[in-house]
Amino acid sequence: MNLKIGVIKGDGIGPEIVTEAMKVIDKAAQIYGHTCEYMQLLMGGASIDVHGVPLTDETVAAAKSCDAVLMGSIGGDAKTSPWYRLEPSKRPEAGLLRIRKELNLFANLRPAVLYDELKGACPLKEEITEGGFDMMIMRELTGGLYFGERKTVEENGVMTAYDSLTYNENEIRRIAKRGFDIAMKRRKKVTSVDKANVLDSSRLWRKVVEEVAADYPAVALEHMLVDNCAMQLVKDPKQFDVILTENMFGDILSDEASMVTGSIGMLASASLNETKFGLYEPSGGSAPDIAGKGIANPIATILSAAMMLRFSFDLDREAEAIESAVAKVLEEGYRTIDIMSEGKTQVGTEKMGDLIAGYLK
């Protein structure tokens, strides 16, 4: 298979971590008989330096012509970088917001995996995390409260603010389908999270999710109220496979779930649209404090690349091989500085990439 991949290395640690992910993809492609065609794309500060804007129309068109885009991270230090003396619509982050919109990326996927070897970094009690956990949070990204009408007005001398939470059935159906598709590639369980005891939007959410579930008889569906889900995530995270939820609930729950895994350098993410296309990136930022030092953890980006192979190219075997190689490297005791603990072997960004590529089978 020929993999046409757009690559946004971005700013800060972006180029360092993406280089390692490409190394791992190349090795997997070599083993499994694929070819990779990379298209380098400029976004964020790197694009401002060349074009004066964080994202050009040409780059958007080029990204659309790829099967998937792998990204590092964009942005710099807001206090010292000249990019932040520009007006907000010309700053690095504006490029990211625009590309998400242009590519219609409505589904955000964030895995929260606790590797047994890293359980020391988890703030939960050992009896809760024994054996690790592995869940996927699927968050609706372009609707709901963050995109509804809002206003602040004075009513009878009292300042009053309004935010509206709207979902239509089509928006719910398309994300629900995505959630069930992903569950089919995993342990076949969907926990749909809402607040159906209070909100109309949640009652419609629940109804549409049930309709979609009828097309996926192999997947077990349960509904959970968001307040209960927030508790269950710290009480018994092992119970979850795919958590499917709307924008604001997903924003909060995905941060809670990622916190219980320990390190930001391990957190992959993907944003998908209705086709197989996706934008894959680590959850962390460009980490200007450690950029250029060769110490950033590339694992989140490498795991994002594995997600890309699984969800955009249906290369499940290759994705599993990468995930197993990551687990193996951790088992063997290799750590970047952010996940370092006593008795383990500290390695830099490049060495970590070499090790993971080397363990690929």
Q: Is 281 in the site for ligand NAD (CB under 6 A)?
A: yes
Among 93, 134, 246, 323, the residue binding ligand NAD under the rule CB under 6 A is 93
Please write down the long-range contacts of 54-61, taking CB distance under 8 Å and 24 or more positions apart. Answer: 54/90, 54/91, 54/92, 54/93, 54/94, 54/95, 54/96, 54/98, 55/94, 55/95, 55/98, 55/99, 59/99, 60/98, 60/99, 60/102, 60/103
Interface characters, 282-311, with ligand NAD (x: CB under 6 A):
--xxxxxxx-----xx--x-----------
Q: Which stretch binds ligand NAD (CB under 6 A): 71-79, 170-178, 247-255, 312-320?
A: 71-79
Q: Is 20 in the site for ligand NAD (CB under 6 A)?
A: no
In terms of CB distance, is 110 or 178 closer to ligand NAD? 110
- Return the amino acid letter for 270: A
Among 5, 74, 136, 219, the residue binding ligand NAD under the rule CB under 6 A is 74
Among 62, 184, 264, 327, the residue binding ligand NAD under the rule CB under 6 A is 264
CB of 339 vs ligand NAD, minimal distance in Å: 8
In terms of CB distance, is 117 or 281 closer to ligand NAD? 281
Rounded-to-integer distance, Cα 234 and Cα 339, Å: 21
Q: Is 265 in the site for ligand NAD (CB under 6 A)?
A: yes
Residues 6+ apart with CB under 8 A from 257: 110, 112, 135, 137, 233, 237, 243
Among 73, 129, 142, 271, the residue binding ligand NAD under the rule CB under 6 A is 73
Q: Catalytic residues, which ones?
A: 146, 195, 227, 251, 255
Secondary structure of the chain: what % helix, strand, coil (to 5)?
45, 20, 30
Q: Which residues bind to ligand NAD, rule: CB under 6 A?
A: 13, 17, 73-76, 93, 96, 264-265, 281, 284-290, 296-297, 300, 338
